Amino acid sequence: MKAFNISRYKKERELQLVDLPEPIVKDDEVLVEIHAASVNQLDSKIKSGEFKLILPYKMPLVLGHDVAGVIIKVGSKVKKFKVGDEIYSRPADFHIGTFADYISINEEYIALKPKNLSMEEAASIPLVGLTAWQALVEKSDVKKGQKVFIQAGSGGVGVFAIQLAKYLGATVATTASEKSFDLLKNLGADIVIDYKTQNFEDVLIDYDVVLNSQDDKTLIKSFEVVKPGGKIISISGPPTPVFADEFNLPWYVKLATKFLSGKIRKIAKKQNINYAFLFMTANAKQLTEITKLIESDKIKPVIDKVFPFEKINEAMKYVESGHAKGKVVIKIK
Is the peptide bond between 91 and the residue preceding it cis, with omega within 30 degrees of 0?
A: no
pLDDT tier at 117, thresholds 50, 70, 90: very high
Q: What is the pTM of this model?
A: 0.97
Nearest alpha-carbon partner for 135 in 325, 279, 291: 279
Q: Which spans in 193-233 are helix H?
A: 200-203, 216-222
Nearest alpha-carbon partner for 211 in 124, 108, 262, 137: 137
Q: 68 with 115: CB under 8 angstroms?
A: no
Q: 222 with 216: CB under 8 angstroms?
A: no
Q: What are the start-end ranges of the E strands in the chain?
A: 2-6, 16-19, 29-39, 61-62, 67-74, 86-89, 102-106, 110-112, 147-150, 171-176, 191-194, 207-212, 226-234, 274-277, 303-308, 327-331
Give me the pLDDT at residue 320, please. Answer: 94
pLDDT tier at 20, thresholds 50, 70, 90: very high
Q: In this predicted model, what pLDDT tens digit does every residue of 154-199 receive, in sequence order?
A: 999 999 999 999 999 999 999 999 999 999 999 999 999 999 999 9
Provide the greatest CA pair distance for the chain: 59
H helix and E strand count, the chain: 12, 16
Please, which contacts does 261-266 make with residues 24 or more away whose CB atoms are closer than 8 Å? Answer: 264/216, 264/219, 264/220, 264/238, 265/240
DSSP tag of 100: B
Cα→Cα distances 308→151, 301, 329, Å = 30, 19, 9
Cα→Cα distances 145→100, 133, 166, 168, 174, Å = 44, 18, 10, 9, 16
Give me the pLDDT at residue 82, please. Answer: 98
Percent of the chain with pLDDT over 70: 100
Q: 44 with 316: CB under 8 angstroms?
A: yes
Q: 59 with 6: CB under 8 angstroms?
A: yes
